[in-house]
Amino acid sequence: MKRIALPDGTMVPALGQGTWNMAEDANRRVDEITALRTGIDFGMTLIDTAEMYADGESERLVGDAISGRRQDAFLVSKAYPQNASRARLPKACEASLRRLGTDRLDLYLLHWRGAVPLAETIEAMQRLVDAGKILRWGVSNLDTDDMEELMAAGGQPCAANQILYNLTRRGPEHDLLPWLAAHAIPAMAYSPVEQGRLVADTGLQLLAAEIGKTPAQLALAWLLAQDNIVAIPKARRSAHVRDNREAADLVLSTDTLARLDQLHPRPRGRVPLEML
């Protein structure tokens, strides 16, 4: 498994597991827990969740999945922007820790930018680090100008920026991804197969068939071929996790990469960072 370095030198797998839209159907709970555990077994130990997902039920699901093997998982969760203040962030973090059944988060992210000043959020995050509640902090959905402002406010410890990035959302390649790379801050790519829509992409289907892979595997392999990127696909079933894991071993040829670039070229000009 390819690994990506965080700014403090910690290595994380380039292919992790997302949980957006999981824990919303009790009938799927056993399958979803099994899928997450299967992913850990396959080395996809970075698990991303958020207090927003299923109103906290996603965190409870992850907590059940890692029960008895917390040491095997790199836990990432995210706080609502309205909870990113000095007064509210400690409470939000404690609630997430309770739902996850752990005493610390490996990475805690500001889910998106809100009304709380970045400087205040940085201060609140650093207090959580000092208290041992989180080991490091980062952000999500911040564009290049936001990152510049974050740095100006004292955000040098920022460990990651989680963004919408995939074959059909290539705007970050113009300035945000180069900026992050220059500052040794990894990008975490959420919705790496565009919430499943890339699976139905005709051009991707044809190209994937030629190399004996699925469109989703091809889309993931394209991301994993890049430096400084962590992809966090969601999988509700163990079979889907196995398919995702195979993408980490797929080495794309120069010709395949060129054809993917033709199918989904990056925008000619800068595009503001998109969100889902």
The per-residue pLDDT for range 93-142, each reduced to its tens digit, is 999 999 999 999 999 999 999 999 999 999 999 999 999 999 999 999 99
Residue 13: the pLDDT is 98
Q: How large is the average pLDDT for residues 174-196?
A: 97
Q: What angle do CA 94, 100, 102 make, to 5 degrees?
A: 75
Instruction: Please choose, from the candidates 107, 133, 125, the residue with its C-alpha nearest in 3D space to the C-alpha of residue 45.
Output: 107
Residue 244: the pLDDT is 97
137-140/107-110 β-pairing: parallel
Residue 235: the pLDDT is 96
Alpha carbon separation from 95 to 104, 126, 169, 172 (Å, rounded): 11, 18, 33, 33
Strand residues in 66-223 grouped as ranges (E)? 74-79, 107-110, 137-140, 161-164, 187-190
Fold designation for 10-196+227-250:
TIM Barrel (3.20.20)
d(CA 137, CA 134) in angstroms, rounded, equals 7
User: To the nearest whole number, what is the mean pLDDT of the chain?
Assistant: 97
Residue 90: the pLDDT is 98
> What is the torsional sign of CA 39, 228, 155, 129?
positive
pLDDT, tens digit, for every residue of 243-253?
Answer: 999 999 999 99
Q: Which amino acid is at 248?
A: A
Active site residue 53: yes
Residue 228: the pLDDT is 96
Where in the chain are the domains? Answer: 10-196+227-250
Q: How large is the average pLDDT for residues 172-196?
A: 97
pLDDT, tens digit, for every residue of 142-153?
Answer: 999 999 999 999
Q: What percent of the chain lies above the pLDDT cut of 70? A: 100
Given pLDDT bands bounded at 50, 70 and 90, which one contains residue 60? very high
Residue 237: the pLDDT is 97
